Structure 1
Amino acid sequence: MAEKKESVLEGFKAFLMRGNVIDLAVAVVIGAAFTNIVNSVVKGIINPIVGAFGTKDLEGYASCVKGTCVVVNGEMQGIQLQWGLVLSSILSFLITAAVVYFLMVLPMAKVLAKRAAHDKAKEGVAETMEISELEVLKEIRDHLVAQRGGSGSTASTGTGTGTGPGTGKGPEAHPTS
């Protein structure tokens, strides 16, 4: 029973120590910190700018659906829709998405495209090298056949008649000198 606990714990440890789990944890922590920065920019800069053109801070815009929206004894009377708060959250999301896209996704896509093009070119060069090596070997074979004085197809395949040079048969096999 103790062995099963150890193997489960070791498996869990191996799962946690894999690179992608640690990368994910780092991404979550950095994402949370980045969200705080974006929220600060929206609340500290964008909302006051909107408030300068309107009557109040962006998050302060609201509408009453039912009754009058007044605070009586610390309690809101009526039903209030805080559409300014929703709009502020949408702006935060759009800013975050734009920064992630333009500073992370787009550059990474360009790097991956360059890497894919490089790999494709490398495969093309390797294929060309294989073809050129084959052509060189054929030329060497043809040159050797031409030196022996035989035909190209019989010397390369070994299926000739057996009367050519180097076969041990025919007049060239035993010169009389």
Structure 2
Amino acid sequence: MKSTGLHRQYDHSKKLKSVLYYQGAVTHEILGSLTEILKDRIANEKRKNKILNVFIEMAQNVSHYSSEKEGDYGVGLILIKEKSHILKLATANFLDQQTAKPLQEKLEHLLSLSGEEIKELYQEKIKGERPEDSKGAGLGFLEILKKSDFPFRSSFEKTAEGNVFFTLTVFFRLG
């Protein structure tokens, strides 16, 4: 019997120690279910709340800002892997070019800041007004930077259709 593509994908995911893989619309119900799965997986982790907060922030970004929609919800990919005591959280979704360019500049700026500058900017944002184009308080990426163990990684890949495939990856030490 010939091996199917799904069998190879299953084996590959198993070797990578995938904890969670989801692709589709990120609804409130889906986010709640995925959060429960992750919560069970990291039950013994001391910094469980930090990891869960970052995960929720990342998933909400997909739901709110993806240019690909199913009803009112953004569509994207959520992947969580564990390897060598590192938990990797990754999200990916399509953005239109008008959204992608300023986001890329914002993320590059945030990554250039020192820890102290991040804290100062965070305090300014808490005291300031909500940005017009934001579904939240504009704190999401600052929260991610503050809570994760390493600087996040992002990529912006232009597609043949004229939009951008945005990927955000965050890492935590386990144990």
User: With structure 1 as the length reference, what TM-score do the two structures score?
Assistant: 0.20
- Which of the pair is proportionally richer in strand? 2
- Which of the pair is proportionally richer in helix? 1
Larger relative contact order (CA 8 Å, sep ≥ 6): 2
User: With structure 2 as the length reference, what TM-score do the two structures score?
Assistant: 0.21
